[in-house]
Amino acid sequence: MIVTRRFVLGRSAALLAAAALPLIPRRARSVTTMTQGELQIDSISDGHLEFPPDFAFAAIPEAERADLLARFGIDPQATVLSPLNVTLLRQGDRVVLFDAGSGPDFMPTAGRLPDALAAVGVAPEEVTDVLFTHGHPDHLWGLLDDFDEPLFPEAALKMGAVEFDYWTDPRTLDTIGEERQSFAVGAMRRLSAVADGIERFEDGAEVMPGITAVMTPGHTPGHMSFAVGTPEQGVFVIGDFVTTQVGFARPDLGTSTDHDPQLASETRAAMLARLADEGWPVIGYHLPDGGIGRVIRDGDAFQFEGEQ
Protein backbone atom coordinates (compact mmCIF):
# COMPACT_ATOMS: atom_id res chain seq x y z
CA MET A 1 0.00 0.00 0.00
CA ILE A 2 1.27 3.43 -0.89
CA VAL A 3 0.06 6.36 1.13
CA THR A 4 0.96 9.90 0.26
CA ARG A 5 -0.22 13.14 1.65
CA ARG A 6 -0.39 16.53 0.14
CA PHE A 7 -1.94 19.78 1.16
CA VAL A 8 -4.04 21.64 -1.31
CA LEU A 9 -4.80 25.23 -0.58
CA GLY A 10 -8.00 26.17 -2.37
CA ARG A 11 -7.10 29.83 -2.46
CA SER A 12 -10.13 31.33 -4.13
CA ALA A 13 -12.49 29.15 -2.10
CA ALA A 14 -10.67 30.04 1.10
CA LEU A 15 -10.88 33.74 0.28
CA LEU A 16 -14.58 33.45 -0.47
CA ALA A 17 -15.18 31.62 2.77
CA ALA A 18 -13.12 34.17 4.67
CA ALA A 19 -15.12 37.01 3.13
CA ALA A 20 -18.47 35.45 3.97
CA LEU A 21 -17.50 34.14 7.38
CA PRO A 22 -14.84 36.38 8.86
CA LEU A 23 -14.44 34.29 12.02
CA ILE A 24 -13.29 31.20 10.19
CA PRO A 25 -9.56 31.05 9.55
CA ARG A 26 -8.37 30.13 6.10
CA ARG A 27 -7.08 26.63 6.21
CA ALA A 28 -5.38 24.22 3.91
CA ARG A 29 -7.39 21.20 2.96
CA SER A 30 -5.65 17.94 3.39
CA VAL A 31 -5.91 15.15 0.87
CA THR A 32 -4.62 11.75 1.77
CA THR A 33 -4.21 9.29 -1.04
CA MET A 34 -3.95 5.54 -0.85
CA THR A 35 -3.30 3.45 -3.93
CA GLN A 36 -3.96 -0.26 -3.88
CA GLY A 37 -3.36 -1.86 -7.25
CA GLU A 38 -5.97 -0.36 -9.60
CA LEU A 39 -7.73 1.41 -6.78
CA GLN A 40 -7.12 5.03 -5.95
CA ILE A 41 -8.67 6.12 -2.69
CA ASP A 42 -8.60 9.71 -1.50
CA SER A 43 -9.76 10.98 1.84
CA ILE A 44 -10.99 14.48 1.07
CA SER A 45 -12.25 16.99 3.59
CA ASP A 46 -15.75 18.41 3.94
CA GLY A 47 -14.36 20.70 6.65
CA HIS A 48 -15.02 19.99 10.30
CA LEU A 49 -17.71 20.11 12.97
CA GLU A 50 -17.40 21.99 16.24
CA PHE A 51 -18.96 20.72 19.45
CA PRO A 52 -19.00 22.20 22.92
CA PRO A 53 -17.01 19.89 25.24
CA ASP A 54 -20.00 19.24 27.52
CA PHE A 55 -21.83 17.73 24.57
CA ALA A 56 -18.89 15.90 23.03
CA PHE A 57 -17.80 14.18 26.25
CA ALA A 58 -21.20 13.61 27.85
CA ALA A 59 -20.98 9.84 27.41
CA ILE A 60 -17.73 9.60 29.38
CA PRO A 61 -18.36 9.28 33.13
CA GLU A 62 -17.12 12.42 34.82
CA ALA A 63 -14.82 10.53 37.20
CA GLU A 64 -12.92 9.07 34.23
CA ARG A 65 -13.06 12.02 31.89
CA ALA A 66 -9.88 13.94 32.73
CA ASP A 67 -7.62 10.87 32.74
CA LEU A 68 -9.02 9.39 29.57
CA LEU A 69 -8.86 12.64 27.61
CA ALA A 70 -5.34 13.33 28.86
CA ARG A 71 -4.19 10.08 27.23
CA PHE A 72 -5.02 11.63 23.88
CA GLY A 73 -3.87 15.15 24.69
CA ILE A 74 -7.45 16.45 24.61
CA ASP A 75 -8.30 19.53 26.68
CA PRO A 76 -11.58 18.71 28.44
CA GLN A 77 -12.61 22.39 28.38
CA ALA A 78 -11.86 23.16 24.74
CA THR A 79 -14.24 23.19 21.79
CA VAL A 80 -14.00 19.83 20.05
CA LEU A 81 -13.15 19.91 16.35
CA SER A 82 -14.30 16.80 14.54
CA PRO A 83 -12.89 16.28 11.04
CA LEU A 84 -15.10 15.24 8.13
CA ASN A 85 -13.29 12.75 5.90
CA VAL A 86 -15.18 11.83 2.75
CA THR A 87 -13.83 8.77 0.98
CA LEU A 88 -13.40 9.13 -2.79
CA LEU A 89 -12.72 5.92 -4.68
CA ARG A 90 -11.63 5.84 -8.30
CA GLN A 91 -11.31 2.59 -10.19
CA GLY A 92 -11.62 2.27 -13.96
CA ASP A 93 -14.64 4.32 -15.02
CA ARG A 94 -16.17 4.47 -11.52
CA VAL A 95 -15.93 7.56 -9.33
CA VAL A 96 -17.48 6.66 -6.00
CA LEU A 97 -18.15 8.85 -2.97
CA PHE A 98 -18.88 7.37 0.43
CA ASP A 99 -21.33 9.96 1.83
CA ALA A 100 -22.07 13.39 0.43
CA GLY A 101 -20.79 15.76 3.11
CA SER A 102 -22.81 18.36 5.00
CA GLY A 103 -23.93 20.76 2.30
CA PRO A 104 -24.44 24.48 2.82
CA ASP A 105 -26.98 24.38 5.67
CA PHE A 106 -25.53 22.38 8.57
CA MET A 107 -22.52 24.17 10.10
CA PRO A 108 -20.47 27.07 8.75
CA THR A 109 -17.26 25.07 9.23
CA ALA A 110 -18.56 22.21 7.07
CA GLY A 111 -19.87 21.80 3.53
CA ARG A 112 -16.49 22.09 1.79
CA LEU A 113 -16.80 18.90 -0.26
CA PRO A 114 -17.39 20.63 -3.63
CA ASP A 115 -14.16 22.61 -3.20
CA ALA A 116 -12.29 19.51 -2.06
CA LEU A 117 -13.47 17.59 -5.12
CA ALA A 118 -12.40 20.44 -7.39
CA ALA A 119 -8.98 20.39 -5.75
CA VAL A 120 -8.49 16.76 -6.81
CA GLY A 121 -9.87 17.43 -10.30
CA VAL A 122 -13.27 15.77 -9.98
CA ALA A 123 -16.39 17.60 -11.21
CA PRO A 124 -19.69 16.73 -9.48
CA GLU A 125 -21.08 15.40 -12.79
CA GLU A 126 -18.25 12.88 -12.92
CA VAL A 127 -19.31 11.14 -9.71
CA THR A 128 -20.90 7.84 -10.76
CA ASP A 129 -22.03 6.52 -7.36
CA VAL A 130 -22.72 7.84 -3.87
CA LEU A 131 -22.95 5.18 -1.15
CA PHE A 132 -24.37 6.41 2.15
CA THR A 133 -23.29 5.09 5.53
CA HIS A 134 -26.21 6.77 7.31
CA GLY A 135 -28.63 9.67 7.32
CA HIS A 136 -27.01 12.15 9.72
CA PRO A 137 -26.61 15.71 8.42
CA ASP A 138 -22.82 15.63 8.00
CA HIS A 139 -23.15 12.59 5.71
CA LEU A 140 -26.40 13.23 3.84
CA TRP A 141 -27.20 16.90 3.59
CA GLY A 142 -24.56 17.58 0.91
CA LEU A 143 -26.71 15.58 -1.46
CA LEU A 144 -28.52 18.77 -2.53
CA ASP A 145 -26.89 22.05 -3.54
CA ASP A 146 -27.81 25.64 -2.63
CA PHE A 147 -30.78 25.44 -5.01
CA ASP A 148 -32.04 22.10 -3.67
CA GLU A 149 -30.92 20.38 -6.86
CA PRO A 150 -28.95 17.12 -6.69
CA LEU A 151 -25.28 18.03 -6.43
CA PHE A 152 -24.24 14.82 -8.20
CA PRO A 153 -26.72 14.69 -11.09
CA GLU A 154 -25.27 11.62 -12.80
CA ALA A 155 -24.65 9.53 -9.70
CA ALA A 156 -26.48 6.38 -8.64
CA LEU A 157 -27.49 6.91 -5.00
CA LYS A 158 -27.48 3.95 -2.62
CA MET A 159 -28.50 3.68 1.04
CA GLY A 160 -29.18 0.75 3.37
CA ALA A 161 -32.89 -0.15 3.41
CA VAL A 162 -33.27 0.01 7.21
CA GLU A 163 -31.63 3.43 7.29
CA PHE A 164 -33.68 4.80 4.41
CA ASP A 165 -36.91 3.53 5.95
CA TYR A 166 -36.06 5.07 9.33
CA TRP A 167 -35.43 8.57 7.99
CA THR A 168 -38.41 8.53 5.63
CA ASP A 169 -40.85 7.27 8.30
CA PRO A 170 -43.03 10.21 9.42
CA ARG A 171 -43.05 8.78 12.97
CA THR A 172 -39.29 9.38 13.30
CA LEU A 173 -39.93 13.07 13.91
CA ASP A 174 -41.89 12.18 17.05
CA THR A 175 -39.56 9.49 18.37
CA ILE A 176 -36.08 10.88 17.68
CA GLY A 177 -36.07 13.35 20.58
CA GLU A 178 -36.41 17.10 20.55
CA GLU A 179 -32.72 17.91 20.17
CA ARG A 180 -32.47 15.88 16.96
CA GLN A 181 -35.72 16.85 15.28
CA SER A 182 -33.84 19.03 12.81
CA PHE A 183 -31.94 15.89 11.73
CA ALA A 184 -35.23 14.15 10.97
CA VAL A 185 -36.70 17.11 9.08
CA GLY A 186 -33.51 17.61 7.08
CA ALA A 187 -33.15 13.94 6.18
CA MET A 188 -36.80 13.61 5.19
CA ARG A 189 -36.61 16.64 2.90
CA ARG A 190 -33.50 15.44 1.14
CA LEU A 191 -34.43 11.78 0.83
CA SER A 192 -37.90 12.72 -0.41
CA ALA A 193 -36.29 14.75 -3.18
CA VAL A 194 -34.42 11.69 -4.47
CA ALA A 195 -36.69 8.86 -3.27
CA ASP A 196 -37.59 7.66 -6.77
CA GLY A 197 -33.97 7.27 -7.78
CA ILE A 198 -32.35 5.91 -4.64
CA GLU A 199 -31.37 2.26 -4.48
CA ARG A 200 -31.87 0.49 -1.16
CA PHE A 201 -29.65 -2.40 -0.18
CA GLU A 202 -29.45 -5.01 2.58
CA ASP A 203 -26.69 -6.12 4.95
CA GLY A 204 -24.13 -8.22 3.07
CA ALA A 205 -25.11 -6.93 -0.37
CA GLU A 206 -22.43 -6.44 -2.99
CA VAL A 207 -23.44 -2.86 -3.71
CA MET A 208 -20.88 -2.52 -6.48
CA PRO A 209 -18.32 -5.00 -7.81
CA GLY A 210 -15.91 -5.67 -4.94
CA ILE A 211 -17.77 -3.45 -2.42
CA THR A 212 -19.77 -5.24 0.27
CA ALA A 213 -22.17 -3.58 2.71
CA VAL A 214 -21.62 -4.44 6.37
CA MET A 215 -24.45 -3.43 8.69
CA THR A 216 -23.02 -1.71 11.78
CA PRO A 217 -26.10 -0.49 13.70
CA GLY A 218 -26.32 1.59 16.85
CA HIS A 219 -24.93 4.96 15.79
CA THR A 220 -28.10 5.04 13.69
CA PRO A 221 -30.65 2.23 13.26
CA GLY A 222 -29.41 1.07 9.87
CA HIS A 223 -25.82 2.35 9.78
CA MET A 224 -23.73 0.66 7.07
CA SER A 225 -19.99 0.32 6.63
CA PHE A 226 -18.33 -0.91 3.44
CA ALA A 227 -15.63 -3.49 2.81
CA VAL A 228 -13.82 -2.49 -0.38
CA GLY A 229 -11.77 -5.34 -1.85
CA THR A 230 -9.72 -7.35 0.61
CA PRO A 231 -7.57 -6.47 3.64
CA GLU A 232 -4.47 -6.90 1.42
CA GLN A 233 -5.85 -4.90 -1.53
CA GLY A 234 -8.57 -2.63 -0.28
CA VAL A 235 -9.93 -0.52 2.52
CA PHE A 236 -12.73 -0.70 5.08
CA VAL A 237 -14.93 2.39 5.16
CA ILE A 238 -15.97 2.69 8.80
CA GLY A 239 -18.41 5.58 8.66
CA ASP A 240 -19.36 6.49 12.23
CA PHE A 241 -19.42 3.28 14.26
CA VAL A 242 -16.27 4.65 15.89
CA THR A 243 -15.67 8.39 15.73
CA THR A 244 -12.94 9.18 18.26
CA GLN A 245 -9.72 7.70 19.60
CA VAL A 246 -11.50 7.33 22.94
CA GLY A 247 -13.86 4.91 21.20
CA PHE A 248 -10.91 2.63 20.35
CA ALA A 249 -9.61 2.69 23.92
CA ARG A 250 -13.07 2.31 25.45
CA PRO A 251 -15.49 0.77 22.93
CA ASP A 252 -18.07 0.56 25.72
CA LEU A 253 -18.29 4.36 25.93
CA GLY A 254 -20.50 5.79 23.25
CA THR A 255 -20.69 9.32 21.97
CA SER A 256 -23.49 11.82 22.33
CA THR A 257 -24.44 11.25 18.72
CA ASP A 258 -25.13 7.50 19.06
CA HIS A 259 -28.82 6.70 18.55
CA ASP A 260 -28.76 3.48 20.61
CA PRO A 261 -25.69 3.64 22.89
CA GLN A 262 -25.84 0.00 23.99
CA LEU A 263 -26.12 -1.39 20.46
CA ALA A 264 -23.48 1.07 19.26
CA SER A 265 -21.08 -0.20 21.94
CA GLU A 266 -21.63 -3.83 20.97
CA THR A 267 -21.13 -3.02 17.29
CA ARG A 268 -17.99 -1.00 18.03
CA ALA A 269 -16.33 -3.71 20.11
CA ALA A 270 -17.15 -6.47 17.61
CA MET A 271 -16.11 -4.50 14.55
CA LEU A 272 -12.85 -3.21 16.02
CA ALA A 273 -11.90 -6.79 16.90
CA ARG A 274 -12.73 -7.95 13.39
CA LEU A 275 -10.81 -5.14 11.68
CA ALA A 276 -7.76 -5.66 13.91
CA ASP A 277 -7.73 -9.42 13.39
CA GLU A 278 -8.28 -9.21 9.63
CA GLY A 279 -5.71 -6.41 9.27
CA TRP A 280 -7.84 -3.98 7.25
CA PRO A 281 -6.65 -0.50 6.35
CA VAL A 282 -9.54 1.74 7.40
CA ILE A 283 -10.95 5.20 6.78
CA GLY A 284 -13.00 6.75 9.58
CA TYR A 285 -15.21 9.72 8.77
CA HIS A 286 -14.31 11.60 11.96
CA LEU A 287 -10.89 10.14 12.81
CA PRO A 288 -7.71 12.26 12.80
CA ASP A 289 -5.26 12.84 9.95
CA GLY A 290 -7.66 12.13 7.12
CA GLY A 291 -9.00 9.10 8.97
CA ILE A 292 -6.71 6.60 7.20
CA GLY A 293 -5.06 4.06 9.45
CA ARG A 294 -5.37 0.66 11.06
CA VAL A 295 -6.99 -0.84 14.12
CA ILE A 296 -4.43 -2.28 16.53
CA ARG A 297 -5.22 -4.42 19.55
CA ASP A 298 -4.11 -2.93 22.88
CA GLY A 299 -4.79 -5.39 25.70
CA ASP A 300 -8.55 -5.80 25.88
CA ALA A 301 -9.09 -2.66 23.82
CA PHE A 302 -7.77 -1.04 20.65
CA GLN A 303 -5.83 1.87 19.23
CA PHE A 304 -6.17 3.83 16.02
CA GLU A 305 -2.82 3.89 14.29
CA GLY A 306 -2.78 6.62 11.66
CA GLU A 307 -0.86 5.90 8.45
CA GLN A 308 0.86 9.27 8.47
State the DSSP code for 283: E
Minimum CB distance to Zn ion smaller for 240 or for 258: 240
The residue among 15, 13, 20, 239 whose CA lies nearest residue 108 is: 20
Minimum CB distance to Zn ion smaller for 158 or for 219: 219
Minimum CB distance to Zn ion smaller for 129 or for 138: 138
Least distance from C-beta 240 to Zn ion, angstroms?
Answer: 4
Minimum CB distance to Zn ion smaller for 138 or for 307: 138
CA gyration radius, the chain = 18
Phi, psi of 177 (to 5 degrees): 100, 145
Least distance from C-beta 285 to Zn ion, angstroms?
Answer: 5
Q: How many residues bind Zn ion (CB under 5 A)?
A: 2
* Distance, CA of 234 to CA of 113 (rounded, Å): 23
Among 46, 115, 129, 240, indicate the residue that binds Zn ion (CB under 5 A): 240
Minimum CB distance to Zn ion smaller for 47 or for 229: 47
Choices 39-47, 170-178, 217-225, 235-243; region in contact with Zn ion by CB under 5 A:
235-243
149, 177 in Cβ contact below 8 A? no
Minimum CB distance to Zn ion smaller for 140 or for 207: 140
Least distance from C-beta 63 to Zn ion, angstroms?
Answer: 28
Residues 135-164 that bind Zn ion (CB under 5 A): 138
Choices 1-9, 59-67, 132-140, 166-174; region in contact with Zn ion by CB under 5 A:
132-140
* Distance, CA of 248 to CA of 44 (rounded, Å): 23
233, 39 in Cβ contact below 8 A? yes
Choices 18-26, 120-128, 205-213, 234-242; region in contact with Zn ion by CB under 5 A:
234-242
276, 267 in Cβ contact below 8 A? no
Length of the chain: 308
State the DSSP code for 148: S
Least distance from C-beta 136 to Zn ion, angstroms?
Answer: 5
Give 89's strand partners: 41, 96
Least distance from C-beta 286 to Zn ion, angstroms?
Answer: 6
* Distance, CA of 230 to CA of 225 (rounded, Å): 14
Contact set with Zn ion (CB under 5 A): 138, 240
